[in-house]
Structure 1
Amino acid sequence: MTPNKDVRADRRTDVGTRADARADADVAEIARLLPAPDRRPLPHAQHLHHKEQLMQHIDRDRNGDRTGTPAQPARQAFSARRLLRPAILLPVTALALAGILTTSIVLTTGDDTATTTTASRDVRPAAALLDQISDAAGKNEELTVRDDQFAYTRQKDQGADLTSGKAVMEPLKESESWVAQDPGPLRKLGIVKEDGETLPINAQLGDTEGTPEGFGRPTYHWLASLPTDPDKLLRFLYAKTPKSDDQERDQAVFERIGGLLGGVTPPKTAAALYRAAAKIPGVTKAPAAHDAIGRHGVGIAREDTTFHTRTEWVFDRQDLTYLGSRSYLVKDTQYGKKGTLMSSEAVLDFAVVDKAGQEPSRARES
C-alpha cells in the first residue's frame, strides 16, 4: 500500500576490498545480461507522483466522451507504491503481512553510522536491529496465496507536489486497494477506493501488453522467487535498480527494498531483505521515527546526499511490525527548507481476499 524518501551519509570503509571487487564484478556481469533499465530524474516518491498526474491527463484525453466531458481518471499502478504490495487474510497471521513475527522484545533507540561488512552477525546498532527483524521474519509460517486472489491494503499517505518547483504537501488521504495476484501480464491490476470513488489500477506506463509480476507488482509468488542469500539478493537488487545522476546508487537500492516492505512476504525472502538492507552503506537507526499518523517506533533510515532527503522505515517497538515510512529534506534545497516533508505513509490493515472490493472483515468470517 503505498510512496517515499530520506537520506543517510554514504560512508564506506576500505575493509574487504577484494570481496568488494568480486561483488562489483558480479554486479557488472548481471547488469550486462539484463535489459537496460529505465532512468528516472527524481527520487521514487516524487517520480511516481508526476507520473500519476501525467497519466490522469492522458486518461482524460483518451477516454473523454464526445461532448467533451472528461472521463473519470484511472488510478495508475504506481500512484502509491504500497497499492501493489501483497497482503494476507487471517488475523492470527496478520503480523506475517509485514514478514515479522510477534515478539516480546522492547528495543532501544539511538543513532549510529553504518559501515560495510559481510559478517552474518553485526554489532552495529542498525544491523543489530535489522538482524532481530530478520530473525523474527524467518520464523513465520509459509502462506498459501492463490493466483486468483487479491491483496487488500488500507493505508493513509500523502506526498509533495513538485510541479510548482516547491514541495507542496497534499492532504493526508486514506485509501483501500485490491491488487491481483495473477502473474500476468495484466492491463487492469485491480481497483482502488479513495474519496468515495472506486477507480481501476492500470498497467504501468509503457506496459502496452500489461504489467507482469515484478518490482512494480510484487506478488507473493514473485517474492518467493527472489534469492534468499542476502549477498546474492543484494547483488540482484543493485543490478535491477536503475542508475541516476540525481540519486545515490545505495539510496536507490535502499528505497527499492523499502518498496517491498509492509505486505505478505515469504519468510525466507523477508529475512533476506532485512539482512541485505543491513549491508547497504549509510544505513542507521532512526531514534525519532514515526509514520504518517504519528505512531512512533524503532526506525531504520538512510540519507541521500544527492537529493538531500532522509528516508525512514518505522517498526512497532514491541512486535517489530512494519508501521510505515516517511521522507523529508535534511538541508535547504530548491524544493524547500530543511525538515520539509516529502512523503509519508501509515499501513492500517491488510488481507488477502477472493474478490476485488471484498471487505477483509467479511473474508475473515467466511
Structure 2
Amino acid sequence: MKDKAPTASPRSRGDREELARLLPAPAETRLPQERHLHHKERLLNRIDNDRAGRSRPQPRRMPRFVVPVTALALACAVAAGITLTGHDRDGVSAQRDTVVNMRPAAALLDQISAAAGERDAPVVRDDQFVYTRKKAREVDLTSGTAVIGPLKDYEKWLSQEPGPLRKQGLIRTDGEAADLNAELGDTEGTPAGMNRPTYSWLSSLPTDPEKLLTYLYAKTPRFEERERDQAVFEQIGYLLGGVMPPDTAAALYRAAARIPGVTDAPKIQDAIGREGIGIVREDTRYGIRTAWVFDREDLTFLGSTSTLTRRTPYGGPGTVLSSSAETGHGVVDEAGQRPAEVTTQGAGRES
C-alpha cells in the first residue's frame, strides 16, 4: 500500500514556514542527511541572492530544520494523485531507455542492482525497530564560509509501525539520545511513507524501475526553481542504506539509472576514508555534486558525499558540504537496543 499523505495547500506550507521561523532551534533529532538539506537550503539562498544582487537573504520554498517536532527534511506536501508518463515527466521521451543503456553509469547501476537483488531478505515485524549506525561530518555555514565539522557517531532506531506516529523512534549523536518526533504539521503523527520509510512501506513500492521512477517523480516534493531530476536523485539517496527489501533496492538503482545527468565516479571516498566507486549527479544550477559511494568488492552502499563544483559565497570547487559513512544495521525489538548481530557495510574494514 502506497503512502497516501494528503497534499498540503500553499497556505498550509506558508504557515509551516512561518511557524518554523518563530520557534527556537531544537536539539538534534535527525541524521546528517536532513541537516545537510538544511545547510543546502541556506547555501542555495545565498547563491540566488548574490546572483540577483540582493543584500538580504530571501526565503525559499525549502524545508527548514528549526522546529522541536523534528526537522522538515522532506515534510512538505507530496504531489499526491499525479500520474506521469515517460513522455510528460519533465520532457523525458520514451526513447530514454535506449540512451540510458549506453551510459557507463547505467551499466554500473545495473551491476549494483543485481547485487542488491541477490541479498537475503530479512524478517521485519511492524512492532520492531530498524537500527542504523553511521558516522558523518556536517558543514557549518554560520561564519559565511563552509566549515566541515568533526566526525560524529550516529545511531538511529526507526519504529516499523505503519502509524501515523507522534514518536518515530530514537537517535543517539555521540552517545546523546533524543526522540525522533512526528514531522511538523503531522498533528496526528507521521505515517509510513517517503518521510518515514519503514520496511513494509518500502516493500510496497513498485519493483518495475519505470513505474517506481514515475511514482518518485510524483511524490517527491516540488520546490520553486529546484531542478526536478536532482530532487528525485536525492530522494532516492535518502531511501538508500539500512535494512532494505532486496527487490526494492534493486528497483531503486535501476530507476536512478533512468534519471538524466547521472554519471559514475571510478574513485571516491566516504566519511571514514573507505574508497569505493560512485554514482554521481550535479545540480548544475547551484554547482553542488551529490555522490553515492559503493564498496568495490560487494557493491554495498557505503555512504554519500556532497561537494561544491564551482565558486560560491561559501567556498570553491571541492568544498565539502556533507559526508557520511554507514557502518552497520539490523533489526531489534526495542528502541535503544543494539542488534546481537550487526550487518556491516562493505567488504573491507573501516578506516
Preserved CA contact (<8 Å) 1:233 1:272: yes
Report the CA distance shift for 1:145/1:209 in structure 2 as closer, same or farther (over 3 A): same
Report the CA distance shift for 1:79/1:256 in structure 2 as closer, same or farther (over 3 A): closer
Q: Distance in 2 between matches of 1:307 and 1:260?
A: 23
Q: Which of 165, 183, 198 is equivalent to 1:186?
A: 165
CA drift at 1:237: 0.7
Specify the code of the residue in structure 1 equivalent to 2:252: L
Matched, 1:175 2:154: yes
Residue 302 of structure 1 aligns with which residue? 281
Residue 150 of structure 1 aligns with which residue? 129
What's the secondary structure of 2:340's corresponding residue? helix
Q: Distance in 1 between matches of 2:342 and 2:248?
A: 26
C-alpha RMSD over aligned residues: 3.1
What's the secondary structure of 2:66's corresponding residue? helix
Preserved CA contact (<8 Å) 1:353 1:363: no
Residue 290 of structure 2 aligns with which residue? 311
Residue 26 of structure 2 aligns with which residue? none
CA drift at 1:360: 1.4
Preserved CA contact (<8 Å) 1:46 1:162: no
Residue 197 of structure 1 aligns with which residue? 176
Identity %: 57
Specify the code of the residue in structure 1 equivalent to 2:146: A
Residue 113 of structure 1 aligns with which residue? none
TM-score for the superposition, normalised by structure 2: 0.72
Report the CA distance shift for 1:316/1:300 in structure 2 as closer, same or farther (over 3 A): same
Task: Provide structure 2 residue ranges, at least 5 long, that are not aligned to the other structure.
Answer: 18-32, 43-62, 76-94, 344-351
Residue 7 of structure 2 aligns with which residue? 35
Specify the code of the residue in structure 2 equivalent to 1:293: I
Q: Distance in 1 between matches of 2:149 and 2:73?
A: 13
Q: Distance in 1 between matches of 2:335 and 2:159?
A: 8
Q: Which of 310, 327, 330 is equivalent to 2:306?
A: 327
CA drift at 1:276: 0.5
Q: Distance in 2 between matches of 1:171 and 1:80?
A: 25
CA drift at 1:163: 4.1
Residue 3 of structure 1 aligns with which residue? none
Q: Which of 105, 115, 118 is equivalent to 2:97?
A: 118
Higher-RCO chain (CA-CA 8 Å, sequence separation at least 6):
1
CA drift at 1:80: 11
Preserved CA contact (<8 Å) 2:74 2:221: no
Q: Distance in 1 between matches of 2:72 and 2:243?
A: 18
Report the CA distance shift for 1:120/1:281 in structure 2 as closer, same or farther (over 3 A): closer
Preserved CA contact (<8 Å) 2:135 2:271: yes
Matched, 1:129 2:108: yes
Report the CA distance shift for 1:298/1:207 in structure 2 as closer, same or farther (over 3 A): same
Residue 356 of structure 1 aligns with which residue? 335
Preserved CA contact (<8 Å) 2:167 2:180: yes
Preserved CA contact (<8 Å) 1:289 1:313: no
Q: Which of 210, 216, 222 is equivalent to 1:237?
A: 216
Output one character per residue of 1:181-223: Cα deviation in whole Å (capped at 9) or x when no partner.
1111111111111233211111112212111111111001100
Residue 54 of structure 1 aligns with which residue? 66
Specify the code of the residue in structure 2 equivalent to 1:54: V
TM-score for the superposition, normalised by structure 1: 0.69
Residue 22 of structure 1 aligns with which residue? none
Specify the code of the residue in structure 1 equivalent to 2:257: A
Count residues in correspondence. Answer: 280
What's the secondary structure of 1:311's corresponding residue? strand
CA drift at 1:346: 0.3
